Structure 1
Amino acid sequence: MNKNSSTKTKFLKYADKDRITSGIPQLDDIIHSLRLGDNVVWEVEELEDYRHFAVRLIRQAIRSSSKCIYVRFAPHEPILQPMEGLEIVKVDPGSGFDFFSSQVHRIIEYYGEKVYYVFDNLSSLMVEWATDELVANFFKATCPYLFELETIGYFCLTRGKHSHSTVAGIRETTQVLIDYYHINGKAYIHPLKVYDRYSQSMFLPHLVTGEAWEPILDSSKAATISSSDRRKIIRTRKSGTSPWETVYTKLKFHHDMETLDTLPQPEIIALKQELSRMIIGDHPRFNRLADAYLSLEDLLSIRDRMIGSGRIGGKAVGMLLSRNIILASEKKEEFADIIEPHDSFYIGSDVFFTFMINNDLFLLKIKLSDNSSMTKEEFEEVERRFLQGKFPEDIVEQFRELMDYFGQAPIIVRSSSLQEDNYGNAFAGKYRSEFCPNQGSPEERLEEFMHAVKLVYASALNPDALAYRRTRGLHYQDEQMAILVQRVSGMPYKQYFFPALAGVAFSKNLFRWTKRIDPGKGMIRLVFGLGTRAVDRVGRDYPRMIAVSQPTLRPETGLKVIKYSQWDVDVLDLDKRELRTISFRNLIEDCDYPGLRLFVSVMNEGYLTDPYTNSIDCSQEIVLTFNNLIKNTKFVDTIGEILRIVEEVYEHPVDIEFTASADQRGNIRINIVQCRPMTTPGNSENITIPDNIKEDNILFRSNMLINEGKVENIEYIVYIDPQAYEIADMDTKRSIGRIVGSINEKMSTMDTNFILMGPGRWGSSNIELGVNATYSEIDHTSLLVEIALEKAGHIPEVSYGTHFFQDIVEEEIIYMPVYPDMKNSSFNEAFFRNSGNMIKDILPDHERFSTVVKVINVREASGGGNAVVIANLYEQNAICYLEKPTVARTWKLDKLKGQWQ
């Protein structure tokens, strides 16, 4: 807003000035009333809408004996009719910008302070002057003078008619900017800017109906409304002559003019495919799917919602394709009421490189891509440099329009790189996603959003991502970071925002805990609240694991169900403007959450029972089981059908991330937020466990697997002693992951197989629950073992469905939990206790960790043998045992030391 220094001093406490009514109580409630000095710009579709608000303002002002002026200059029907107390002043814009602006300025000067003004439609000036830019210039010249004289001024623009730069200039200058529109016969009002006033619902769309204008809080309703709005989302920018703009402009013109039939069909097909490749990239399998399932209208809509240029990346493509595949299936009529519409935006991949080059970060990317390792501290410095970067002003203005579109609805900024979510390369969890609670003033929300974008950009250079790309031979291939911006699913509850249901679903079930389960029917990993707890290994929680073929079966029985349940919920705290983890019991302490009976069971006389009604006794122990949801709704069947349909079209197993909701009657709504090809391990046809293994040679057994395989000639075991880890100090526990990473890196230089064994959950964010090692610190192991000592609180979580799971399956790392405390289990504690420790030879500067971390030379510890691991997924049976090596090896300890040194 343009104000000179004296004006800033005069109106320092703008929000504390006397409130002025607009003549409409509902509008006053939303924007906390007008203030003297407010210029209000209305973006409307019909002039009658602007007339309605202007008439109410002037009538109220006349009743309060205020001076009212109607500035008449446009050829359209009058906004205001003559009435007592209103002066109508006519100005001719035909004499040019200079004359017109000067005359208006003299009128304002003549009438002085505290006057109410209504102006004709500013869009008419664009026709008169044959330029859009002068419309903004007139407003920027007029608005500050009205502000200084403490007037109230009403202006309007025809919605969607003006360029990006014109509206940006008006938005920057005015005090209040309001979007007013109609969808499906209903009217909505959406304040985009309200200077120096704020509430948690002020910048949301509101349904204009009756006495109360209700904010649209539910994400599903908001997306439905927004996706029905056919106007161009990111306003027209200056056209270029690049092939991208040429192809898009030609198709857009003929589509909007309904003249596509004048072009030869082969030309339309060729242009559509060319635009598709520009947006999606050159991936033959995805191109085939895009040609079949993305219409021309879909492609144009993507372009209209794109900031910058370039491609939208794998995550965005997967989301769009899976939705369209489902909605084009034989059950499309049924799914039309189930699949929530999306209103996502895309930041094109070109913006990523522009940002890096403009901020001297491109050479840093090249250097780090060639480097073999990076410490946590070094990456923090990389993030700091990215956060200091600046975006080009035209991109910032498009960001601002994106934020205006979402208002105060929470959003998530998600990586969508070119290589991400591709066939064979999932990049699961390698790049960053950032939630934006999206509260505060427009300026605060914009800064929060740009901060999130920069963090996602920086994550392209994080150690795990670089290690993943090097391991898979992708580090020299083109990797550009596009971004997918999505509305967070859910609705407010208290001061929190979250979806009722979120999770990840797999079309193939690799976690088959009983032979009654059909692995071809898929698996669901379900949580209450944000889906972070479904894909990450966090806290002491366990999501509900649902086999689609046998949904009521659980891996646990009896009261163990209580132990292996979800106890904490991830939510967005709208008051504190942050992602928070909160106890489920504290969250629903009043038991008034809508449809709670679908999600919980209650402890009754020593047994878990499922509620029959919505009346739940809050004094009882409440457990998240989702039993009623599974038994009494079509949720599982619906997810199963989605998996079947998408897998069939992809011609490959898939995993899908989703959010969902269920109303009081059990009707399900599902929002697909991500879809990617699923990595599956090989078959177990030739994997059998010998019957003649001596008991003394068995190191451990497991009967809970998520993948399979056979590894011979295992020469080393890296063993984190569970009991020593339990009593270690916090600094030691925090360092164990880095020590493991150093050992992992040294092992990678040798032609050898090794096992990693440790307490609880590998990769957990909570070091009390297990070793906090990242992907790049374990990626060369052949077998990952989680040792479960329940008395020490080290309980593995079967990682099926997490990003961690995706990593170990893609790297063909065999994973298994081992339960030494369980009856009929095998764990050769004596072998691990009595074997020698080579850590001082490998990491001489870290000998102090030798009480916790042990590197065992299997040949030396066993008197000349190697270890063998056999894991049969179908039988859910795995064993690690000692045998004499089948291939002669001549490694000596002293030679091995030399190799490491």
Structure 2
Amino acid sequence: MQHSPVIGSGIPALDSILQGLRLGDNVVWQVDGLDTYRKAAIPFVRQALLDRRRVIYVHFIPHCDILTPLSGFLAEEVDPRPGFDSFSAQLNKIIDENGRGVFYVFDNLSALVAEWATDELLANFFQLTCPYLRELDTVAYFALTRGQHSHSAVARIRDTTQVLIDFYHVGDRLYIHPLKVWDRYSSQMFLPHLLSNGILTPVLVSGDASAISQTASKSPLKVKADSIAPWDSVYRKLAQYSEDELSFLEATPEIQALKQELSQMIIGGHPEFRRLADKYLTLNDLLSIRNRLIGSGRIGGKAAGMLLARRILLNDSSELDFSGVLEEHDSFFIGSDVFFTFLVNNDLFRLRLRLTRNSQISPEEFEKVEERFLAGSFPQEIMEQFKDLLAYFGQAPIIVRSSSLLEDGFGNSFAGKYRSEFCVNQGDPEERMEYFLRTVKLVYASAVNPDALSYRHLRGLGESDEQMAILVQRVSGMRYKSFFFPPLAGVAFSHNLYRWTDRIDPNQGIIRLVFGLGTRAVNRVGGDYPRMIAVSHPQLRPEVGCKVATYSQREMDLLDLSANDFASTPVARAISDLDFPNLHLYFSFLDDGYLREPSGPRLKSLKDGILTFNRLIARTDFVKIMRTLLAKLEKAYGYPIDMEFTAFVDAEGRIKINLVQCRPMRLTGLTEVASIPEDIAPDCILFRANRTISGGTVPNIRYILYIGAESYARKASLELKQEMGRIVGEINRHPEIVRQQIMMMGPGRWGSSNVALGINTTYADINHTSVLVEIAREEAGHIPDVSYGTHFFQDLVESQIIYLPLYPDDPQADFNLEFFQNSPNILSRILPEAQRFEEFIKVIDVPAVTGGRFVQVVADPRQQQALCFIRDHEC
């Protein structure tokens, strides 16, 4: 396409961002006052006159002038008071008489509503005038007062104009945020920019952008005003009051009843959630949620947990004022009703019903189901609200997260069962919308993925009302070079099940901390280890000496803005310039087998650098803040909690936390006292383990699924390794196995996506096991990850599966390799089609080998000891 000459706006920094104006552009400025509009209009007129352009100022009688007299431009007056017809005719005559290539500045269009009393006529005027001006190769400036017009009128103007820009104050600072720039694109075009001394500085830190955007856009979504549904009826009754009036009237019976009704509609009816919502959420909180809710329905457990946790912390500032610690959030919510509308409109409802009742689906079948979801479409009203959402965030990365009604609830976390999808959110508006819609549909499809169905079935939730709401969050972090990521992220637990020394107080919790996106903290990844911080003794580590380097993080997850995709990269490569803020708080250095800390705030090299976060722990309030935060949330919930977070250290050394997610933990049975028997005959012992997290006793284990570490590492082809997870899953679901107790033992990390590091199973492949053992043989490259805090471990916790890392080479392990190698393999009998895996996967029928005896496992997390032995009156 051949573009017209570039036209200057009079603000060079803006021209750089917009790539200039073009002949035919209509430019609409959404402003917070006439003085703000003048800051855009006057430079434009001066530049146009300097470029020897004809400029006409169209003044609406009898309203205030935008432009003071300047030599060189022509002022034309039009009177809107006689009505739309007369006004349009006057303006049409002016445009006709002045012809092509003229530049125009119009008074604030909001003044027309004062005369015509309707937004509809305002939108009609713009849709009539804008295309005509474009045909004549003009450049025209218009203004709208922000927040004064209906969303439908603004949408019509947005769809018609070529350029739409938000121009507003937050405090005494002035911001420019382009919302639409037709046929132009740059990597920072749609971000909010601070205007100061003629310089536009993009807002690159998520917390700053959130605070600015939320202040500037109180009601960012189009909402139909004519609905008679109870939802909107209750909302309208409450919305007639101001915030101050609601605070004053909230205790009255009428307002209390309306609040209860609105809370039921938004949060739901679970007694514990209702208790917390009634205590901590105000009416203004609920109305704020409604203002950011797309469609209708509930917001789901994940969204409710995040909002409640924030409010719990902000309401009580007796020990620590969290208003100075927590980042602002400006999340949006896609209501659960939209999920059902999508299913019904795209002929997917019966498919979901069938899959839910059946509770089993293969990965191959699920891929076809995903394709059907991806082919679906949304109603026009919802699409308009999606446009508002994307316009609000601009090019800021966002994450689309499942928030089903059952998710993050009391007893069922659904950790990692449903999808969360990053939208790096780069490209032009059409590209960004296409990718956003894809992520929403993938989250919807995940409601029937194999892991989710297995999880629901095991917990008796197969017939429960499971609607999928969605939480859309701004990704917390900052732009650095062509990347976007937070410096700190992780998961934290108010109760610590992983005590590697008796000095640790389990009631003060534990933190699993990484550099970059928190995906590396909740997923099992290869060759990398997060920093485990016991809150009671933060400087203690499970590792000592040079082992600290072995068990540390080397790679990081981030968003690659240039590739518009999620990526993993070596930490040293991502921050090779060493100018990323506060690196001295995160890195230590290995020197002759000893750790040393950086000598100053600026690192000279990352050679021998290790991510320990030692100075963050020792020299900032990070651990103190997390300790207080975890204790407050556990006290309010009445249960231990786990939470996901991001964090950063600001220029003054203060810690800022973004609370991403919060849910209660289910610990039933995992902290029970289990005494290790001392009188077991040596020939009855199968193994000892000296690292355990969960406790308890599992008697009467009939089957053992055993995959040898050496044969897996040295003999199994890549193809066989990739298929082993599927075979394990078929054994796990076999009717003969399900009726009995089974223990699974395999090399390295169960649940790893990297087959070189372990068996690539999912939750649905191991959910019937009673004990899961990870066999570590370092010479074979298999090192278990005590992955406390990952979604995989959360599955084990909730299913009360005892998890044991086992080091056969440790003299204290008492590993009976002969038993596992020489016992007969019944794999071909129970799964004839898996015969070619017999060399690697062994299923042992214990009573058939031991003369009718069973295996028992006893694990004591306090002593970090576990024993597996053959039960017998002689043992």
Assess same fold via TM > 0.5.
Answer: yes
Q: 2:159 aligns with which of 172, 176, 185?
A: 172
Partner of residue 271, structure 2: 284
Q: Distance in 1 between matches of 2:109 and 2:346?
A: 39
For 1:818-897, what aligned pairs fall within 5 Å after superposition?
A: 818-884=806-872
Taking structure 1 as reference, are residues 278 and 885 closer, same or farther at Cα in structure 2, changes over 3 Å only? farther
2:2 is aligned with 1:13? yes
CA distance in 2 between partners of 1:263 and 1:628 (Å): 47
- Which residue identity lines up with residue 153 of structure 2 in the other structure? T
2:509 alignment partner AA: G
- Equivalent residue number for residue 755 of structure 1: 743
The separation in 2 between residues aligned to 1:885 and 1:761, in whole angstroms, is 35
Cα distance, 1:878 vs structure 2: 0.5
Q: Does the 8 A contact of 2:246 with 2:284 survive in 1?
A: no
Q: Does 1:734 align with 2:706?
A: no
Distance 2:606 2:70 in 1: 65
Q: Is the 8 A contact 1:162 1:236 kept in 2?
A: no
1:655-681 CA-partner distances (Å, limit 9, x unpaired) = 111000013553211110100001114
Alignment of 1:639-718 (within 5 A): 639-663=626-650, 665-682=652-669, 687-718=674-705
Conservation of the 8 A alpha-carbon contact between 1:74 and 1:120: no
Aligned residue number for residue 778 of structure 1: 766
Q: Which aligned pairs between 1:531-570 and structure 2 lie closer than 5 A?
A: 531-570=518-557
> Residue 105 of structure 2 aligns to a residue in which SS?
strand
Aligned-pair CA distance for 1:50: 1.2
Q: What are the equivalent positions in structure 2 for 1:38-187 lying under 5 Å apart?
A: 38-187=25-174
Rate the CA distance shift 1:596–1:686 in 2: closer, same or farther, 3 A.
Answer: closer
Partner of 2:498: 511
Instruction: Give secondary structure in 2 for the equivalent of 1:203.
Output: coil
Rounded to whole Å, the distance in 2 between the matches of 1:529 and 1:202 is 25
Cα deviation for residue 362 of structure 1 reads 0.6
SS at match of 1:213: strand
Distance in 2 (alpha carbons) for counterparts of 1:67 and 1:591: 52
Q: CA deviation at 1:827?
A: 1.1
Whole-angstrom distance in 2 between the partners of 1:262 and 1:836:
75
* Distance apart, 1:168 and its partner CA: 1.4
Over 3 Å counting, the alpha-carbon distance change for 1:620 and 1:268 in structure 2 is: same
Q: In 1, distance between residues paired with 2:305 and 2:506?
A: 23
**How far, CA to CA, are the matches of 2:673 and 2:10 in structure 1?**
81
Contact 2:336 2:467 survives alignment (8 Å): yes
Q: CA deviation at 1:257?
A: 8.3
Question: For 1:691-724, what per-residue CA distance to the aligned partner results, in whole angstroms no more than 9, with x for missing partners?
Answer: 1111111111111112111111111101112222
Q: Which letter maps to 1:465?
A: A
**Match of residue 788 from structure 2:** 800
CA–CA distance in structure 2, aligned partners of residues 462 and 224 of structure 1: 36
**Aligned match of 1:452:** 439
Pairing 1:357–2:344 present: yes
TM-score, normalised by the number of residues in structure 1: 0.94
* Equivalent in the alignment of 2:564: 577
CA distance in 1, matches of 2:550, 2:217: 50
Map 1:217-232 → 2, pairs under 5 A: 217-229=204-216, 231-232=218-219
Does 1:599 find its partner at 2:573? no
Give the Cα–Cα distance (whole angstroms) in 2 for the partners of residues 819 and 676 of structure 1.
33
Counterpart of 2:228 in structure 1: which amino acid?
T
The 1-side partners of 2:434 and 2:670 are apart by: 50
Equivalence for 2:734:
746
Aligned to 1:389: 376
Of residues 500-509 and 116-125 in structure 1, the stretch that sits farther from structure 2 once superposed is 116-125
Distance change in 2, residues 1:262/1:843 (3 Å)? closer
What is the rounded CA distance, in whole Å, between the counterparts of 1:312 and 1:683 in structure 2?
31
2:751–2:762 CA contact under 8 A, matched in 1: yes
Q: How does 1:619-630 map to 2 (within 5 A)?
A: 620-630=607-617
Q: TM-score, normalised by structure 2?
A: 0.97
Name segments (4+ residues, structure 1) moved above 4 Å. Answer: 259-264, 683-686, 747-750
The question of 1:527 aligning with 2:514 is answered yes
Determine the C-alpha separation between the residues in 2 that align with 1:322 and 1:429. Answer: 20
* Partner SS for 2:241: helix
- Structure 1: how far apart are the matches of 2:74 and 2:345? 53
> C-alpha root-mean-square deviation of aligned residues, in Å?
1.7
Describe the superposition over 1:283-307 as per-residue Cα deviations: whole angstroms up to 9, x where unpaired: 1111111111111111111111111
| Inter-CA distance 817–685: structure 2 relative to 1 (3 Å threshold) | closer
Q: What residue is the counterpart of 2:330 in the other structure?
A: 343
Out of 400, 403, 406, the position equivalent to 1:413 is: 400
Write the distance in 2 (CA, Å) between the matches of 1:156 and 1:142: 14
Q: Is the 8 A contact 2:673 2:695 kept in 1?
A: no
* Contact residue 673 and residue 696 of structure 2 kept, 8 A: no
Q: How far is the alpha carbon of 1:190 from its aligned partner? A: 0.5
TM-superposed deviation, 1:228? 2.9
Assess, with a 3 A threshold, how the Cα gap between structure 1 residues 109 and 485 changes in structure 2: closer, same or farther.
same
Q: Which amino acid aligns with 1:700?
A: F
Q: Which residue type is aligned with residue 13 of structure 1?
A: Q
Contact 1:632 1:666 in 2 (8 A): no
Residue in 2 aligned with 1:234? 221
Measured at CA, do residues 333 and 244 of structure 1 come closer, stay the same or move farther in structure 2, by a change above 3 Å? Answer: same
C-alpha separation in 2, matches of 1:717 and 1:330? 53
Cα distance in 1 for partners of 2:460, 2:736 equals: 15
Unaligned segments of structure 1, at least 5 residues:
1-11, 887-901
Q: Distance in 1 between matches of 2:804 and 2:853?
A: 22
Q: Note closer, same or farther for the CA distance 1:118–1:664 as it changes in structure 2 (3 Å cut).
A: closer
- AA at the equivalent of 1:753: Q
Judged with a 3 Å threshold, the aligned counterparts in structure 2 of structure 1 residues 548 and 24 are, in CA distance, closer, same or farther, namely same
Partner SS for 1:89:
strand
For residues 750 and 319 of structure 1, do their structure 2 counterparts lie closer, same or farther at Cα, with a shift above 3 Å needed? closer
- Residue 261 of structure 1 deviates from its aligned partner by 5.3
Alpha-carbon shift at residue 461 of structure 1 (Å):
1.0
CA apart distance, 1:800: 0.5
- Cα deviation, 1:220-264, whole Å, max 9, x if unaligned, reads 111222233363221443231111111111111123583775798
Deviations 1:324-380 (A, max 9, x none): 111112437632211111111111111111111111111111011011321111111
Measured in 1, the distance between the counterparts of 2:783 and 2:735 equals: 28
Equivalent in the alignment of 1:587: 574
Q: Which whole-Å deviations, capped at 9, do the CAs of 1:129-156 have from their partners, x for residues lacking one? A: 3322222222122212222221101111
The offset of 1:406, in angstroms, is 0.9
307-316 vs 236-245, which moves further: 236-245
Unaligned segments of structure 2, at least 5 residues: none
How many angstroms apart in 2 are the aligned matches of 1:513 and 1:816?
14
Secondary structure in 1 matching 2:811: coil
Amino acid of the residue matched to residue 875 of structure 1? Q
Which of 569, 582, 597 aligns to 1:610? It is 597
SS at match of 1:254: coil
Assess if the C-alpha contact under 8 Å between 2:671 and 2:694 holds in 1. no
Q: What is the identity, as a one-letter code, of the residue corresponding to 1:762? A: W
Q: What is the CA–CA distance in structure 2 between the aligned matches of 1:616 and 1:185, rounded to whole Å?
A: 37
Q: How does 1:247-258 map to 2 (within 5 A)?
A: 247-255=234-242, 258=245
Equivalent-residue separation in structure 2 for 1:135 and 1:748 (angstroms): 72
